[in-house]
Amino acid sequence: YGTAYYALVDRAQLRAGEHLLVRLLLQYPECRDVVRAELDARDLETAAVRDVVHTILRRSEDDSPVVYLAILDHLPRDEDRDLLTRIAFREEPLPPPEAAADCLRTLRRERLERERREVQRQMTKAVDPTTVDTLSVRALDLARQINALS
């Protein structure tokens, strides 16, 4: 298999983790507090479920009902409502609430890997030695953070 195949597999696993996170947030109130405390907004920057997750967390923060129909009513875009509907009506078993931490680690690792790729891209274009050194330090820091999440 080539690199493109593994990229697709990784992307599919990431999407599955995003969808699982939404299901856990809908089902388990205790997950909402954990996610609110641990989530870095940058972890969801490219996530398809970003607005769904933020809506769930906002509603739970206000002590508003966090149920499918209430969340659906507060999503402004059709694609978010469609996504929530597809996720909410999945029939596979739901793992325990502790799985939310794994979802967060997956999202964080993906973001850090994206940042590392960007830093590496910048390093290939940099000509100033000081800039290259700064970027190298950042790349190493990102690699350490990624390894810590593995």
Smallest CA-to-CA distance from 23 within 11, 39, 12, 35 is with 35
Is residue 54 within 8 Å of residue 84, measured between CB atoms? no
Extract the tokens encoding 41: 């907004």
Is residue 22 within 8 Å of residue 49, measured between CB atoms? yes
User: In this predicted structure, what is the pLDDT of residue 5?
Assistant: 38
pLDDT tens across the length of the chain (150 residues): 444 434 444 677 778 889 999 999 999 999 999 999 999 999 999 899 999 999 999 999 988 889 999 999 999 999 999 999 999 999 889 999 999 999 999 899 999 999 999 999 999 999 999 999 999 999 999 999 999 987
User: In this predicted structure, what is the pLDDT of residue 79?
Assistant: 96
Going from the C-alpha of 33 to that of each of 21, 25, 98, the distances in angstroms are 13, 9, 12
H or E stretch covering 136:
helix 129-149
User: In this predicted structure, what is the pLDDT of residue 1?
Assistant: 46
Can you give the pTM of this predicted structure?
0.83
User: In this predicted structure, what is the pLDDT of residue 10?
Assistant: 65
User: In this predicted structure, what is the pLDDT of residue 52?
Assistant: 97
User: In this predicted structure, what is the pLDDT of residue 34?
Assistant: 92
Number of C-beta neighbours around residue 93 at 10 A:
5
User: In this predicted structure, what is the pLDDT of residue 8?
Assistant: 43
